[in-house]
Amino acid sequence: MNVFLTFDIEIWCNDWNALDERFPGAFRRYIYGRSPAGDYALPKTLEILNRHGLQGVFFVEPLFAARFGVEHLAEVTALIRDAGQEVQMHLHPEWTDEISPPVFPDKPFKRQHLIHYSREEQTELMRRGLALLAAAGNPEITAFRAGSFAANADTLAAVKACGLGVDSSLNMLYSYSGQDVRTEGDFYFPYERDGLQLLPMSIFRDGRGRLRHAQVGACGVAELRHAVEHSAEHGHPCFTILSHNFEMLRAGASQPDRIVAGRFERLCRFLGANRDDFPTAGLRSVPTFGKAPANMPLAEAGRLATLCRLAGQAARRLPI
């Protein structure tokens, strides 16, 4: 069973005022995460992956570069490519009204999610994103993920119109994600829709019976390990895990979050040691997904694994 280790790579200035003054510091934190302990943002992620011989899929947000310059995007994607990892496209349209000249002059205001844009507008934003990525040295983009999983049927149509083969924007735990696609059925598992391969976030049931999506910063390593093993046992087509470039940093700082960093290290060690059973895969070669059986069960994690995660979350709240 393939495991898709996916990373959303994005930069935020933590305020929409004084963007040009805030950007240099934000870029250093979100991309490098420099501290006396080392660079615990993107460089540490790449180092851990490569040390364990794993393939990652890096969904990189390019629209910020239309404001600050494509050279910054090129720096980010060069780090990823030079580490032998894969660049794909991510979009946060919050940047749209910060670009000059205006992308949509008739709507010069902030719209947070792609679902707030028409199909034509979404297609235009994706084409701009692809052009920015190509200018930064990344011409072979095959997959897309919407920011915050805020996608709808128009998003999927736009992805297809842009010639991409895979969309990874759907998440059953986000009520606004694929809201108008839910009438066609649940999307807990990958499937093909109108010639587009859909790779939703993997969802599992934790030790308290609650549904969680498989995110490194929000799940314990034992929970993720149990969910991967349970998925394979029940014939799931694949398992998709999410992280971000800043998840190994403490909130609002560049110091490493030792709990999450250790969690990611142990997850990668597990996948590296079990690569024959759970090979990590990329999306450059577009996979083909069949429709999962209607009665396919969700993955599960044990109660002890969830209790360990809750203990780790309590430890994260302690001061440094």
**Among candidate residues 205, 256, 220, the one with its CA nearest the CA of residue 47:** 256
Rg over alpha carbons for the chain, rounded to the nearest Å, is 19
**The pLDDT of residue 320:** 59
pLDDT 10s digits, 4-14: 999 999 999 99
Is 58 exposed, middle or buried (CB count within 10 Å of its CB: 0-12, 13-18, 19+)? buried
Span 2-316 CATH architecture? Alpha-Beta Barrel (3.20)
Compute CA distances 162 → 123, 127, 128, 200, whole Å.
Answer: 7, 7, 10, 19
**Among candidate residues 171, 233, 167, the one with its CA nearest the CA of residue 202:** 171
* Residue ranges covered by each domain of the chain: 2-316
> What pTM, to 2 d.p., does this model score?
0.97
The number of residues in the chain equals: 320
The percent of residues in the chain predicted with pLDDT above 70, rounded, is: 99
The span from the CA of 113 to the CA of 56, in Å, is 25
**Among candidate residues 302, 283, 275, the one with its CA nearest the CA of residue 85:** 283
Confidence grade of residue 316 (pLDDT, cut at 50, 70, 90):
low
Compute CA distances 46 → 35, 58, 65, 260, whole Å.
Answer: 17, 10, 22, 15
The span from the CA of 34 to the CA of 253, in Å, is 10
pLDDT 10s digits, 70-102: 999 999 999 999 999 999 999 999 999 999 999
